[in-house]
Amino acid sequence: MEFEFNREKSSFIKVLKGKCEKNALKCSVEDNKIMIETFANSEGKLEDAIPAVFKGTIEAKENKTLIKGRFTNGFYLTTLVAVAAILIIARLSWSIYQKQLDNIIMCAIATAILVIVCVVVNIKGKKSKERIITLLKQLQ
């Protein structure tokens, strides 16, 4: 994602940090790197249960500021899914080789659960991402 702002970098960072604080977001800027993340919800609502993190770079161009980055989850979902997929594939191939039907069924069930978890995390994390996108669009 890319956002362009009509402010100088130093004044933009001050405004961004103030707006993030008002909207219960955490903003950190080091050198040319920026990170905006959602807090854990203290009220116990499930709408913000999955944290979102926007990581990117911030550049100054003439009298404008440019932010380029992408969203990640507040935890290593991609790594967890990749490791689980590798383990499931290894177990599935061994079960096929050994002709163990029960283990093949177990691998199919584990794969289905893994897909469901990924879908739920993406749906639940959408609201947190929208909070950050809305904030950045308001500053444009």
Q: How far apart are CA 8 and CA 137, in angstroms?
A: 17
**pLDDT tens-digit profile of 11-41?**
888 988 898 888 888 889 988 899 998 865 5
**Strands (E) located in 9-81:** 25-30, 33-38, 52-61, 64-73
For the chain, 140 residues long, give each residue's pLDDT as a single digit of tens.
888 888 888 888 898 889 888 888 888 998 889 999 886 555 555 455 678 888 999 888 888 888 999 988 767 777 888 899 899 999 999 999 998 999 899 999 999 998 898 888 888 888 888 888 888 888 87
